[in-house]
Amino acid sequence: MALSEKHRSSIYLTLAPMLGEEEAEALLSQFPARELDQPVTKEFVRAEISGVRVEMADSKAELRGDISELRAEVADMRAELGAEMTDMKAELRTEMTDMKAELRTEMTDIEAGLRGDISELRAELYDRLRQQTMWMAGAVIAGMGVASGIASVIS
């Protein structure tokens, strides 16, 4: 128990003349002047440690609960991500199939256009070849006529 300043003064004044000032101060120093100056007892330490243990147990239980909740949330997120990835794969496959069909259609259209262009070029080539052949045949016939006329004049 701590001594109040009034009690300390009264005890000092009573003991100092009997024991001497130094001895009275030494004796009073063995008694705490404030509550904080009291020595800690084993019971106090045990009670404090017990309180800390209870707080730690509570915190540990709370932490385990939080970890369980977090695990559940992560599991839910994994499931959601898996479902989304499956949907995205299906969507991507559908888009790729559609793009293949479009490319095939475009390639078919391009091929048909090229075949048409080749047919037109072929027809135009045949026409020009026929015209050249007719022109050459006419030139040969005209040349033969001229040669025949020159031969009849010469002869």
Nearest C-alpha neighbor of 4 from the set 28, 39, 40: 28
* Res 133: pLDDT: 95
Question: What pLDDT, in 10s, does the model give residues 85-113?
Answer: 999 999 999 999 999 999 999 999 999 99
Rounded mean pLDDT, 114-118: 95
* Res 34: pLDDT: 64
- Under DSSP, the state recorded for 29 is T
**Would you call 3 exposed, middle or buried from its count of C-beta atoms within 10 A (0-12, 13-18, 19+)?**
middle
Rounded mean pLDDT, 104-130: 96
Task: State the helix-helix crossing angle for 21-28 and 5-19, rounded to 10 degrees.
Answer: 140
2 pLDDT band (50/70/90 cuts)? Answer: low
* Res 151: pLDDT: 87
* Res 44: pLDDT: 85
Question: What pLDDT, in 10s, does the model give residues 25-80?
Answer: 888 787 766 655 566 788 988 999 999 999 999 999 999 999 999 999 999 999 99
pTM for the predicted model, two decimal places: 0.41
5 pLDDT band (50/70/90 cuts)? Answer: confident
- Tell me the three state secondary structure of residue 5: helix
- Spatial CB neighbours of 99, under 8 Å, sequence gap ≥ 6: none
